[in-house]
Structure 1
Amino acid sequence: MLQLRDLPTPETLQKFAQRYPEADISAISSFLHLLRVATDLSSALDECLQRHGLLQGRWWVLILLMREESLSSMPSTLADKAGVTRATMTGLLDGLERDGLVERIFDAQDRRRVSIRLTASGQARLDQVMPDYYSRLRLCMAGLDEAQRAQLQAMLGHIASNVDAFTR
């Protein structure tokens, strides 16, 4: 994915706004900064997880399974919760199973029906990753107090509610 490393100056944005009257300079600037920070956070998370031999997609699947009381879920449910296609989830699960971090449990009455369960090795991997992740996350968010964090979540919620403006 292309990452915009050089954000436009206010003068550059003004030039665009003169050509495109629909342009809202402060909205553009805020959006580009948010996109840049989100990209940087995702890259930093990738780097952190790679130290533990994980990729983000696989890590999220392990997290989703750990959230379940039974430590198991259906592949289609995992795909829905992760926001990926079922084919993508199958690929993630294949890799996790190959590494012994999850196991497929086939239904005794219907072998076509399968659930995915977090293994002891998968839990051990999470137990290795999560303290490091939480320490880094705490440092990343250290500049914001609780009120600012709540305000940030509210602002992000407002933005999230309008994301479909790009798809309508």
Structure 2
Amino acid sequence: MLLIKELPTSESLKKFAGHYPEADIVAIWEFVNILRAASDLSDALDKMLQQHGLLQGRWWVLVLLLREDNLSSSPSELAEKAGVTKATMTGFIDGLESEGLVTRLTDRKDRRKLKIKLTPAGRKKLDEVMPVYYTNVAALMSTLSLQQRQDVVRYMQTLGANADIIK
């Protein structure tokens, strides 16, 4: 993910509008501010997770497995739920497996079928990370009132539901 660090100035937006008069520079400024906030949040989450030897992709795999009743899922289901390719998921699983946080299990009836299972070490890792995550998220979200939080979520859901407008 590209982290946006420098937002356009009003001068650069005016220059942009001079080249592209059809551009809605207010909408562009608002959009890049939303992207910047998302970048900052993603970066902050990665920094917190790095303190525990994880990054978002691998952490999400562990969280997705924890959500399952039997703590296991197929690699393709994990990839779909995480919104990544099967190849990317394989990389996440390889790293987690090498650290003993997940294990690959073959179906006894059909050896072509594979399940990824959260190990006790993976559960221990989550037990270490999740309280820190929850505390940090609560602290961050407390900077907004309940109404502001609900508004932000509603607005972001609306934008997300219409993201296919960007082609």
Q: How far, CA to CA, are the matches of 2:96 and 2:11 in structure 1? A: 49
1:59-70 equivalences in 2 (<5 Å): 59-70=59-70
Q: What do residues 76-121 of structure 1 show as CA deviations (whole Å, max 9, x unaligned)?
A: 0000011111111111111111111111111111111111111111
How far 1:44 moved relative to its partner?
A: 0.9
* Structure-2 residue corresponding to 1:121: 121
Whether the 8 Å contact between 2:2 and 2:39 is mirrored in structure 1 is no
Q: Could you tell me whether the CA contact under 8 Å between 2:4 and 2:39 is conserved in 1?
A: no
**What residue is the counterpart of 2:130 in the other structure?**
130
Structure 1 CA distance for aligned equivalents of residues 50 and 159 of structure 2:
30
AA aligned to 2:97 is E
Question: Could you say if the C-alpha distance between residues 77 and 135 of structure 1 is closer, same or farther in structure 2, counting changes exceeding 3 Å?
Answer: same
Structure 2 CA distance for aligned equivalents of residues 100 and 37 of structure 1: 34
1:36 corresponding residue in structure 2: 36
Partner-residue secondary structure (3-state), 2:111: coil
Which residue is 2:102 aligned to?
A: 102
2: distance between equivalents of 1:65 and 1:166? Answer: 32
Q: Alpha-carbon deviation of 1:138?
A: 1.4
| Pairs aligned (count) | 167
- How does 1:8-27 map onto structure 2 within 5 Å? 8-27=8-27
**Does the CA contact (< 8 Å) of 2:60 and 2:82 recur in 1?**
yes
Q: Give, in angstroms, the shift of residue 132 of structure 1.
A: 0.7
Aligned to 1:71: 71
Query: 1:2 and 1:90 mapped to 2: Cα distance?
Result: 22
Between the aligned residues of both structures, percent identity stands at: 54
**5+ residue gaps, structure 2:** none
State how far apart, in whole Å, the 2-side matches of 1:16 and 1:65 are. Answer: 46
CA drift of 1:141 comes to 1.4
TM-score (norm 1): 0.93
Map of 1:150 onto structure 2: 150
Whether 1:84 aligns to 2:78 is no
User: 1:105 is paired with a residue of what secondary structure?
Assistant: strand
Deviation at 1:24, TM superposition (A): 1.1
Match of 1:111 in 2: 111
- Is 2:140 the counterpart of 1:140? yes
